[in-house]
Amino acid sequence: MLPIRILTAVPICDGHDSAINTINLEFIRHGVEVIYLGFHRSAKDIVRAAIQEDVVAIGLSTYNGGHIEFFGEVIDLLEQRCPAPPIKLFGGGGGTITQEDAQIMYGHGVDRIFFAGTPLDEMTKYLRSAYGAIAQSPYDSEFAGSDQFLSRQLTLADDGSGLSPQASETAWAGDKPVRGTRVIGLTGPGGAGKTTLIDELVLRFLRSHAEDQRVAILSHDPSIVGSGALLGDRATMIYSQHDRVFMRSVGTRGMAGGLSLSTDRCLKILAESNLFEFILLETVGTGQEAIPFGIDKLVVDLSVLVMPPDYGSRLQLQKIAMIDVADVIVVNKADLQGARTAVAEIESRIRTNRKGQRLLHTQANRHRDSGVDQLFELLFTDPETNTNTGTGTNTGTPQ
């Protein structure tokens, strides 16, 4: 049985995240998979993420007032976009939500409000009793081609259930030509900046590709003892909070090497959905021995190793197995001390491989970084035509 999956967030105009971080950790320790969206998030961002992640409930922490209106907006969007059974909504706000406010919010469809002083154990018990038995069955074929349908198929694949017979026969019927979806795998140690780099690549995709073209992100985070996980890559995403981006977070659930037991199944569903030009596959932070995509890279078309400058001594560099396998090696955080030395040492390291590997240095947190531009052109260019795969240009900044 799958762990309970919930999404937590802090509403727009609210930067108080200490309470929600504490609550997240308590849920995780009790086996819950928490997709954390971060703070200052709009109702649209929250509902989009909840649908793509196929969660059973959303938890909001708010301390800035306006909770009646904001919770109501989330409920309205969920009712518009989600077929039954609906995603539940709960939350709290210290002393800002009164008993009277809560009664109004319950009337709007909010499931539960936790008040100041509520023990964490009480919250966890409620979560397990209220949402632990919610069954997520396949959607009818009438939802085929939607993000809701796709997200549910990924849930079933993650559970090992696969597609239902009805769904598999009609899942992605349509008149569109079959896309040659390209899968790009990005791996590297924790703290290398993979998520920020992916977000910058997405920004360039949104600007350079036609408005009917989309990109998917399959992001992995480690599970802890008890099967809970903090799936927090969305919290650091800026440009990927966009309708043309589909993002799914996956916990490893004890699987070593950077990926999950369900990764292959999820990739197959994403590719066969015929909805995306590219799929960006991000692993958890990996160690020296990890080769998450395999020596033959069967699950990806291109593999990228993202490294920080501070990987240790040159001897430590010799031990990183992925350097011998990656198509592209990126030294990110190139503004840090030691970056030039790292680039020179890695260049010397891969020269003897004679595999035509590319080495780039990037500073993903810098606006319009030329290194990220080079990486985007390298990864998002059709190898057969040597041209960018976009069929149109969208020069506006994504909203």
What pLDDT sits at residue 2?
78
Q: Is the pLDDT of residue 344 over 60?
A: yes
Q: What is the mean pLDDT of residues 18-33?
A: 94
Q: Is 104 helix (H, G, I), strand (E, B) or coil?
A: helix
**Tens digit of each residue's pLDDT (9 = 90 or more) over 313-339:** 888 888 898 999 999 999 999 999 999
Q: Clarify whether residues 42 and 114 are in a common domain.
A: yes
Distance separating alpha carbons of residues 167 and 67, to the nearest angstrom:
39
Q: Span 33-60, mean pLDDT?
A: 96
Tell me, what's the pLDDT at 222?
A: 92
pLDDT at res. 347 = 94
Residue type, 87: I
The tokens of 52 are what?
Answer: 């793509």
The residue-averaged pLDDT of 336-365 equals 92
Q: Indicate if the pLDDT at residue 160 is higher than 80.
A: no
Q: Which residue has the higher pLDDT, 222 or 381?
A: 222
Whether residue 229 sits in one domain with residue 100:
no
Alpha-helix runs per DSSP H in 3-93: 18-29, 43-53, 67-81
Are the C-beta atoms of 32 and 126 separated by less than 8 Å? no
Domain with residue 110: its CATH number is 3.40.50.280
Instruction: Based on the fold, state whether residues 63 and 206 are members of the same structural domain.
Output: no
Residue 365 and residue 269 share a domain:
yes
Q: Are β-strands 387-388 and 381-382 bridged in parallel, bridged antiparallel, or unpaired?
A: antiparallel
Do 220 and 352 belong to one domain?
Answer: yes
Q: Contact at 8 Å (CB) between 235 and 140?
A: no
What are 125-139's pLDDT values in tens digits?
Answer: 999 999 998 877 888
Mean pLDDT for the chain overall: 88
pLDDT greater than 90 at residue 257: no
User: Does residue 278 contact residue 272 with C-beta atoms inside 8 Å?
Assistant: no
Q: Is the pLDDT of residue 3 over 80?
A: yes
pTM (2 decimals)?
A: 0.90
DSSP state, residue 87: P
Question: What is the total count of domains within the chain?
Answer: 3
Domain that holds residue 146: 141-170
The answer to whether 237 and 267 are in contact (CB under 8 A) is no
Determine the pLDDT at residue 238.
95
Q: Is residue 63 part of a domain?
A: yes
Q: Is 162 left (phi over 0), alpha (psi -120 to 50) or beta?
A: left
Rg, the chain, Cα only: 22
Q: Is residue 399 in some structural domain?
A: no
Residue 340 shares a structural domain with residue 378: yes
Residue 9 has pLDDT above 90, yes or no: yes
The reply to whether 293 falls in a domain is yes
Average pLDDT of span 287-295: 83
Confidence band for 382, pLDDT divided at 50, 70 and 90: low
Beta carbons within 10 angstroms of residue 198's beta carbon: 27
Q: Are 229 and 251 in contact (CB under 8 A)?
A: yes
pLDDT at 179: 57
For 240, phi then psi, to 5°, come to -80, -5
329 sits in which H/E element = strand 328-331
- Assign 345 to helix, strand or coil: helix
> Rounded to the nearest 10 degrees, how much is the dihedral formed by the CA atoms of 93, 98, 100, 106?
20
Confidence check: pLDDT of 396 > 80 = no
Same domain, yes or no: 107 and 205: no
pLDDT above 90 (res 369): yes
170 vs 293 pLDDT, higher one: 293
CATH of residue 215's domain is 3.40.50.300
For residues 262 and 323, state if they share a domain. yes
Residue 395 belongs to some domain of the structure: no
Question: Which pair of structure tokens corresponds to residue 304?
Answer: 């990228």
Q: Please name every residue paired with 281 in a beta bridge, in sequence order, or none if there are none.
A: 185, 218
